[in-house]
């Protein structure tokens, strides 16, 4: 799904979503964040209804319920968006881990101060009430330390899950942009790169426009029919290898169809394209 919220609104939604996420059985990962972000944004009534109904019946969202809600109401086959969410959540959790660690340090030092004060007052019977008060505060401080330690552990676990997710998303994105047979970029990768080049040229018209070379293997069907598809695949790989050897960055060679290939030359004079 596409997000058009401003920085200010997305920050406010983040502030509202995090407390809701932290009370659920599911870990703090991008899928959970997407569900609760959409929930507090109130722009998907069916999602809010489904979440409220599940909470009324079960009290909390576990991993299975969170995944099901995401797939039913939010999921789209967009690896780039998933990568951006994973990267954003990794930065968010990294900051939360740092904040939790700092808060834990403050709590620990406060507990040590209370312990020292209680020890100093312990020998004075006239101040027994103060000692009891300090002992009570110290007990609450220890409880807070334990809660902070549990939060740090949960955040650390979520960080590891996000690291794994980022690796999986990166692999999926790479695979979604690569032709499995030849190893060249596929039609989707070519279209994305061409759109970016056209946008750059539109923004800076004085630069050279991109050039596109289209290639097609003559009589490829006859090759397949005469020698078999395995031989045809070898021909496709051979053409891809030739293109890879001839085309260097920032140019892009891609397989855009069955026996069709294309070469994109960003900001290239026509003469350079003709020479290639």
Can you give the pLDDT at residue 203? 83
The closest of 226, 221, 208 to 269, measured between CA atoms, is 208
**Contact assessment for residue 169 and residue 138, using Cβ atoms and an 8 Å cutoff:** no
Q: Write the DSSP symbol of residue 178.
A: B
Can you give the pLDDT at residue 126? 47
**Domains of the chain by start residue, with CATH:** 7-174 (no CATH), 187-275 (3.30.70.270)
Can you give the pLDDT at residue 243? 92
Whether omega for the bond prior to residue 250 falls within 30 degrees of 0, making it cis, is yes
Can you give the pLDDT at residue 92? 66
State pLDDT tens for residues 32-68. Answer: 888 998 898 877 778 888 999 999 988 889 888 888 8
Which strand (E) or helix (H) includes residue 51? helix 45-58
Full pLDDT tens readout for the chain, 276 residues: 556 667 777 888 888 888 888 888 888 888 888 899 889 887 777 888 899 999 998 888 988 888 888 888 887 555 555 666 666 666 666 666 666 677 667 677 766 776 776 676 665 554 566 666 666 776 776 777 676 677 777 777 777 777 776 677 667 666 678 888 888 998 888 988 888 888 888 888 777 788 999 999 998 888 888 988 889 889 999 999 999 998 888 889 999 888 899 999 987 777 777 777
The verdict on pTM exceeding 0.75 is no
Can you give the pLDDT at residue 229? 84
Residues 63, 102, 175, 259: which is the catalytic one?
Answer: 259
Cα separation, 187 vs 24, in Å, equals 41
Q: Write the DSSP symbol of residue 209.
A: P
Q: Is 63 a catalytic residue?
A: no
Cα separation, 37 vs 21, in Å, equals 9
CA-based torsion, 89, 92, 96, 98: positive or negative: positive
């Amino acid at each position: 799904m596409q997000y058009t919220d401003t920085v200010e609104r997305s920050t406010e939604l983040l502030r509202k979503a995090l407390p809701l996420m932290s009370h659920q059985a599911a870990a703090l990962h991008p899928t959970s964040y997407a569900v609760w972000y959409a929930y507090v944004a109130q722009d998907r009534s069916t999602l809010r209804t489904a979440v409220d109904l599940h909470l009324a019946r079960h009290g909390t969202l576990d991993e299975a319920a969170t995944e099901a809600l995401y797939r039913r109401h939010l999921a789209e086959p967009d690896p780039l968006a998933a990568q951006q969410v994973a990267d954003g959540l990794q930065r968010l959790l990294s900051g939360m881990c740092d904040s939790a660690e700092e808060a834990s340090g403050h709590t620990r030092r406060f507990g040590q101060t209370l312990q020292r004060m209680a020890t100093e007052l312990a020998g004075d019977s006239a101040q027994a009430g103060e000692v009891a008060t300090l002992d009570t505060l110290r007990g609450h401080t220890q409880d807070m330390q334990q809660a902070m330690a549990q939060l740090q552990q949960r955040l650390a676990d979520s960080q590891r899950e996000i690291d794994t997710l980022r690796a999986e998303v990166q692999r999926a994105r790479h695979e979604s942009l690569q032709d499995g047979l030849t190893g060249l970029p596929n039609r989707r990768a070519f279209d994305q790169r061409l759109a970016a080049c056209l946008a750059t040229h539109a923004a800076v018209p004085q630069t050279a426009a991109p050039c596109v070379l289209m290639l097609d293997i003559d009589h490829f069907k006859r090759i397949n029919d005469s020698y078999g598809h395995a031989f045809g695949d070898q021909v496709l790989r051979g053409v891809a290898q030739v293109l890879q050897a001839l085309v260097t960055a920032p140019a892009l060679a891609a397989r855009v169809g069955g026996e069709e290939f294309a070469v994109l030359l960003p900001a290239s004079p026509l003469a350079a394209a003709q020479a290639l």
